[in-house]
Structure 1
Amino acid sequence: MPIYPLPQPIIDQAFDYVVVGAGTSGLSLAARLAEDRNVSVLVLEAGGDHTGDNSVEIPAQYGSTFTNPKYDWAFKTVKQKHSNNHESFWPRGKGLGGSSGMNFFCWIKPPAYDIDAFEKLGNPGWNWASFEEYSKKSETFHPVVEEIANNFPQTYNPKSLGTSGPIQVTVPLQAHTVDIIFQDALAAKGVKTVEDPYGGDTTGIFVAANSVDPRTWKRSYAATGYLDPNQERPNLHILMGAYATRIIWSDEKDNEGNLIATGIEYIHGEEKKVASASREVILSAGAVKSPQILELSGIGRKDVLAKAGVDLKLELPGVGENVQEHNYVWVIYELDTTKHDHQTLDLMFDPGYIEASLKLHAEGKGLHRLGMSTFAFLPLSSRDPAATKTLIDVLEKDLNSKKESGEVSPSLAKQYDIQLSALRDDSLPDMEFIVFPGYFGARESQGAGRRFLSIVGALNHPISRGYIHIKNDNPLDNPEIDANYFGNNFDLKVLLEHVKYIRSLSDTEPFKAHCIKEAYPGPSVSSDEDVENYIKDSHVTTYHTVGSCSMLPREDAGVVDPKLKVYGTKNVRVVDISIVPIQVAAHLQTTAYVIGEKAADIIKAEGA
């Protein structure tokens, strides 16, 4: 597998497939396409190669690569008018592996209901059965090692997990004392343990796997899992430092009037160059960059392109629309260290601890194996069923009014009907809670010997929809991102319910006995209005943007069809999580791999 710098004759040749973006979906797709030695694949990647970089590969360093331009695109939203003019920072992976090289390792599969919704919205074959097939193809699940299992019992069904895929997956080391405190408190509230969290039912509480290889206790991600085994393939090429700008179109159209792509323009060093594609151009640049490249290529909303000074090639109003993003808030409690020596990430601030822990990691030991472990996915009614019913009734009335006025389109109404149905079903999750073993977001010690437990509450099914659009015709400028956080007030009320549920744990044993006090946001934030302002000021993206190139029928503002082909084009596809038409209650890593794997089979079948 030739990797940049490529010889000039290689750069100048035409490839069967040119893939833009060596991220989670892009690398999985490219590696699978290259299994056919009769085709040639070129992957263009704006970033570099981070394989072997400890900042990427060693766990328990959450967010350490954020804002560093070597690893991170470091996008920002515009000021959010429904969120106290809060600007949200959107880190996204740059370099081989994309965001799979900077995420928080969570290996979580969505509820079957959420994936089946793709099919309900007009995408035959995009259902839970297919998702399960491809997620198992992408993973090798390693049984929990004895050291971890002895401290904390695990629940999973091996039948729901893959045994021979490129990504190595296992249950990580846990700060098991805080996991037990949280799990026992939820059990006291009647929350069930999920026996098979990878089988399509995630409602309840469970310890989640991480994308970590227990043989090395290092990150397993697209660059190591999908590329390393393919180093010798002469038909797979990776060109790094290649910043894609726009699709190059033929002057001719096909017999059905579709645009024909002939390649991709990209910037390499100071030069503009073109990578020629004889079969297909495939955008795997992510939910921010893929719509940007389409718009710079003349595909999108007429008004957006006209304002940006880009000639319209194809009007496709859904490009950059229907954007949905998870976001979260957190509550932090100080732990009573007289009862347990809690092994939390707060230890990392002790002088000399990190150096000693890294040495242990090299021996397969120590706290640098610590992962994100306990998750709870609960119905919205978990805290107060009566209040929830009222909240959903108000939402439904609001949406019906907007449907009648035309503010909500018939296409979006179909999505909202699915969301409302899920909200009223107490077997389905709408709230997510994550145990973070330490003072979340700390950049310095909170005091020697002090230990903390942070509970993160995440909004999984936003009602609000945003957009991502180019501002001008300069490809080096990031697009304008408006998540429209709390554009529908229901989303704010749902996060308020998350905070209230977390705070209710302080009156629940054994949580009550082990936590000294709420350290953040603290007792001064008490009324609903106080909490809502805290949420508006403090909420953070969960790095799960979807929808900007939605897989929907064209009449429903779709951008790609069920074969991921861009409407109105003969040979352009989008293969990344931007195609997800409606948000799911899960972290998106597994979904991104599924999209890459499934797309490869779709493309191979068409080329056979």
Structure 2
Amino acid sequence: MSDLKFSAEDVINKSFDYVVCGGGTAGLTLAARLTEDPSITVAVLEAGEHNIGEPLIDVPGQFGQTFGNPKFDWSFPTTNQTHSLNKSYLWQRGKGLGGSSAMNFYAWTKPPAQDVDAIEALGNPGWNWADYSKYTRISETFHIAQKEQSDLYPHTHDLAFRGESGPIQVTVPHSVHTVDRLFQETLVNKGLKAIKDPYGGDISGTWMASANLDPKSWTRSYAATAYYLPNRNRQNLVVLTEALVARVLFDTPTDKKDLTATGVEFIHGGKTHQVHARREVILSAGTIKSPQILELSGIGRKEILKKIGVECKIDLRGVGQNVQDHTYLGVSFELNPNDPHETYDLMRDPKFAAEAKRLHAELKGMHRIGITSFAYIPFQSATSEASTLIKRAAESVEALKKGGKLEPGQADILDKQIENLADPTVPDLEIIAFPGYFTTVTAPEPGKSYVTILFVLNHPLSRGTIHAISNDPLAHPAIDPAYFENDNDLENLVQHIKYIRSMTETEPLKSGIVREMDPGPNCKTDEEIRKYIYDCHGTCWHTIGSTSMLPLDKQGVVSPELKVYGTTNLRVVDIGIIPIHLATHTHATAYVIGEKAADLISGRVRT
């Protein structure tokens, strides 16, 4: 589907009340809500293509098929990672309307209440679990499991935790119920709590996840189809694709006054143009691009701006700092062939895959699949070494303080992380059952079924950076996640593998598997496990923090109203504002940010 409604002439040198830079998850959410007021005009500039109606986006069960395709993916490389074998990693990010909501694995998860309340505790009034819960319910419409699903697996819901009238359609996807039973029952037998519904702020235990799929069509429900498409004919909303924002324009500054944004310079069709903002400019370009745009606009560390030849308008020290990324990998197992499993491995058979596509047209088959079995585990429930490891992590933070190696504000954030790590009610380890082969060291064999237990580093102590390295807006910024700079992050993943292996000593998983595939029986010692992690880990696509919402003296970039410090009318509205990482996949949170920002800007109060 191509968008023929708007052309560059609808935007170039025109004036709008609000100019939103980035038509991704939060940006389209914000634009849709602002334009509910017909007196307000909004222009959205998106660097990627239109992309709505693309089967690679719409049809579920194609995990990662858009990765590496420049039509859909920015494919950002990281710098070589000093503490991870000097390797560079590729960060896939959505390019096109809907942003990363168009290319993720559509698992719909939400954080524990304590993680969200930590954001408020760091100096952000109103950014707490109660508010999060309100806005996330506003964003969604939940559909309970269908009878054919409940007959196979006893899905449980608490509708008080779920939205009933929001744009994003959320439901229980088709699941490989036999694998779910192995995973869930094993963890309960290991002592974890079975969570009835993990969407009310308590995720410590084992549970079944929903997905942002529309059960009426079994297609992806995401920002472009849920927030933009139903509203695309509004006269006060203009969306221009293939328009890359270069920098924010400001009025001529006067002494001791905050800067006022007057518009945006953008590149379209190989030429540079301008669009004007009467009220505000809003950056919703994501954790990677928003700090780069700020720096190209003269807002950031003066020494960084000097290197790239940009005049420093505001020496804002936090821009591009405090970067935190979830990284993940997996342990794969061959399933016992005596127990029938219809896993995702079937999709490697071309005939089966072709039939699955045909069945999807009838709203049947494997293309309704989702990733459903999750567990979040406090350190204390995962290992007998918990107290020693928590003490080790705390000592590493104290050493950074004494060594003067922390940026302003970092001590507060790290202290909060250690406090939560020591709290036995706050989960730190995450494991997920992917019903198929999802590791890369060895290869799956035809005709066999597998389960891969994926695991995620949720609360990294390491801190990275994202900074422009050129004044060319077409050049990628330098992305340094500083993987394993704090060795406790690596140790956390070692403990994940040990816990996953302990699951194989507990029924029913003990009888349900034949052998461990990756890392395999030759990987035994901690050093061998570390080597496996170095070789196989990669981004979980949940980067936050590069435009942190913190007090200015704590190296904040935006206030709790999301205004960039030193400006009167420039905001950042995307996942980069989150200052401390959350034990969740960040997709649902991006909608919360967009929804809440719309109310902050408009002054509307929703209950």
TM-score with structure 1 setting the length: 0.97
How many Å apart are 1:409 and its aligned residue? 3.9
What residue number does 1:94 align with? 95
Q: What is the alpha-carbon distance in structure 2 between the residues aligned to residue 339 and residue 321 of structure 1?
A: 50
Distance 1:444 1:58, change over 3 A: farther
Distance 1:605 1:233, change over 3 A: same
**Per-residue deviation, residues 336-368 of structure 1 (Å, max 9, x unmatched):** 12222x111110111311111011111111011
SS in 2 for 1:264: strand
**Per-residue deviation, residues 268-291 of structure 1 (Å, max 9, x unmatched):** 011100111111110000000000
Q: What is the alpha-carbon distance in structure 2 between the residues aligned to residue 584 and residue 466 of structure 1?
A: 16
1:152 equivalent to 2:134? Answer no
User: Which amino acid in 2 is paired with 1:374?
Assistant: S
What residue number does 1:118 align with? 119
Q: What is the alpha-carbon distance in structure 2 between the residues aligned to residue 266 and residue 409 of structure 1?
A: 33
Distance 1:9 1:101, change over 3 A: closer
What residue number does 1:361 align with? 360
Q: Provide the identity percentage.
A: 50
How many Å apart are 1:444 and its aligned residue? 11
What residue number does 1:224 align with? 225
Q: What is the alpha-carbon distance in structure 2 between the residues aligned to residue 486 and residue 471 of structure 1?
A: 23
What residue number does 2:488 align with? 490
What residue number does 2:325 align with? 325
What residue number does 1:556 align with? 554
What residue number does 2:336 align with? 336
1:169 equivalent to 2:167? Answer no
What residue number does 1:601 align with? 599
Q: What is the alpha-carbon distance in structure 1 between the residues aligned to residue 596 and residue 143 of structure 2?
A: 23
The answer for unaligned runs of 5 or more in structure 1 is none
**Per-residue deviation, residues 71-96 of structure 1 (Å, max 9, x unmatched):** 00001111111011121111000000
| Between 374-383 and 202-211, the greater mean CA deviation after superposition | 374-383
How many Å apart are 1:7 and its aligned residue? 6.3
Q: What is the alpha-carbon distance in structure 2 between the residues aligned to residue 443 and residue 545 of structure 1?
A: 26
Q: What is the alpha-carbon distance in structure 2 between the residues aligned to residue 408 and residue 221 of structure 1?
A: 38
How many Å apart are 1:196 and its aligned residue? 2.5
1:47 equivalent to 2:48? Answer yes
**Per-residue deviation, residues 550-588 of structure 1 (Å, max 9, x unmatched):** 000000000000000000011100000000010000000
How many Å apart are 1:8 and its aligned residue? 2.0
Q: What is the alpha-carbon distance in structure 2 between the residues aligned to residue 412 and residue 36 of structure 1?
A: 40
How many Å apart are 1:592 and its aligned residue? 0.2
Distance 1:314 1:3, change over 3 A: farther
Equivalent in 425, 438, 441 of residue 440 of structure 1: 438
Equivalent in 567, 576, 579 of residue 578 of structure 1: 576
Distance 1:72 1:376, change over 3 A: same
SS in 2 for 1:375: strand
- Contact 1:155 1:206 (C-alpha < 8 Å) held by counterparts: no
Q: What is the alpha-carbon distance in structure 2 between the residues aligned to residue 50 and residue 436 of structure 1?
A: 28
What residue number does 1:471 align with? 469
Q: What is the alpha-carbon distance in structure 1 between the residues aligned to residue 253 and residue 461 of structure 2?
A: 41
Structure-to-structure mapping, 1:111-510, within 5 angstroms: 111-253=112-254, 257-340=257-340, 342-385=341-384, 387-441=385-439, 446-510=444-508
Q: What is the alpha-carbon distance in structure 2 between the residues aligned to residue 516 and residue 327 of structure 1?
A: 28
Q: CA RMSD in A?
A: 1.6
User: Which amino acid in 1 is paired with 2:444?
Assistant: Q
How many Å apart are 1:239 and its aligned residue? 0.3
Q: What is the alpha-carbon distance in structure 2 between the residues aligned to residue 24 and residue 444 of structure 1?
A: 36
How many Å apart are 1:41 and its aligned residue? 0.3
SS in 2 for 1:389: helix
How many Å apart are 1:401 and its aligned residue? 2.3
Equivalent in 542, 563, 566 of residue 565 of structure 1: 563
Q: What is the alpha-carbon distance in structure 1 between the residues aligned to residue 536 and residue 330 of structure 2?
A: 9
Q: What is the alpha-carbon distance in structure 1 between the residues aligned to residue 467 and residue 252 of structure 2?
A: 26
Q: What is the alpha-carbon distance in structure 2 between the residues aligned to residue 138 and residue 425 of structure 1?
A: 30
**Per-residue deviation, residues 225-256 of structure 1 (Å, max 9, x unmatched):** 00122122000000001011101111144x96
Distance 1:477 1:120, change over 3 A: same
User: Which amino acid in 2 is paired with 1:471?
Assistant: I
Q: What is the alpha-carbon distance in structure 2 between the residues aligned to residue 2 and residue 599 of structure 1?
A: 27
Structure-to-structure mapping, 1:68-79, within 5 angstroms: 68-79=69-80
The answer for unaligned runs of 5 or more in structure 2 is none
- Contact 2:332 2:439 (C-alpha < 8 Å) held by counterparts: no
